[in-house]
């Protein structure tokens, strides 16, 4: 268990993304690149619902034992350090990279927290002009 059930202010936890359509929908959102993973974020426009998170580790990153270890490390980093920073009404997908296995847990948690708290950058206007003109 993660705490005393008698406390009045339980830790805020994130929900889970479970189905393929949910994961595919998040791919259309914002992408925040990092050294250990790619974080995809989608605003569902439902501010009164909890944040949801999902994890993706592809087969090119190793056998099942290594992939599960990567997934467990990322889940624990979200649970301990980044779950509270996730905005309500948003979906997050963490796509692991191979470096997750060699990184210290402290580094992993710090980068995850920083990526979750990063605000979206302003996008260029879509007028079709090249940048150097």
Which DSSP category does 105 fall into? H
Instruction: Give the mean pLDDT of the chain.
Output: 83
Mean pLDDT across 95-117: 91
Res. 76: pLDDT tops 50? yes
pLDDT tens profile 120-131: 665 555 566 666
Domain ranges for the chain: 15-116
Asked if 14 and 92 count as a contact pair (C-beta separation under 8 A), the reply is: yes
Distance, in Å, from the CA atom of 130 to the CA atom of 104, rounded to the nearest integer, reads 42
pLDDT tens profile 28-49: 999 999 889 999 999 999 888 8
DSSP, collapsed to helix, strand or coil, labels residue 11 as coil
> What's the N-to-C CA distance of the chain in angstroms?
59
Fold for the domain defined by 15-116: Ribosomal Protein S5; domain 2 (3.30.230)
Sign of the dihedral defined by the CA atoms of residues 64, 69, 75, 78, in that order: negative
What is this structure's pTM? 0.78
**pLDDT value at residue 4:** 42
């Amino acid at each position: 268990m993660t705490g005393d059930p008698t406390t009045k202010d339980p830790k805020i936890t994130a929900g889970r993304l479970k189905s393929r359509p949910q994961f595919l929908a998040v791919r259309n959102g914002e992408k925040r690149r990092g050294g250990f993973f790619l974080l995809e974020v989608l605003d569902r426009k439902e501010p009164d619902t909890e944040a949801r998170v999902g994890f993706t580790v592809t087969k090119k990153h190793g056998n099942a034992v290594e992939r599960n270890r990567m997934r467990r490390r990322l889940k624990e980093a979200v649970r301990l350090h980044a779950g509270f920073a996730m905005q309500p009404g948003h979906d997050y997908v963490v796509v692991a990279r191979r470096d997750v296995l060699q990184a210290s847990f402290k580094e992993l948690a710090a980068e995850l927290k920083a990526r979750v708290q990063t605000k979206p950058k302003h996008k260029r206007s879509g007028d079709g002009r090249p940048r150097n003109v």
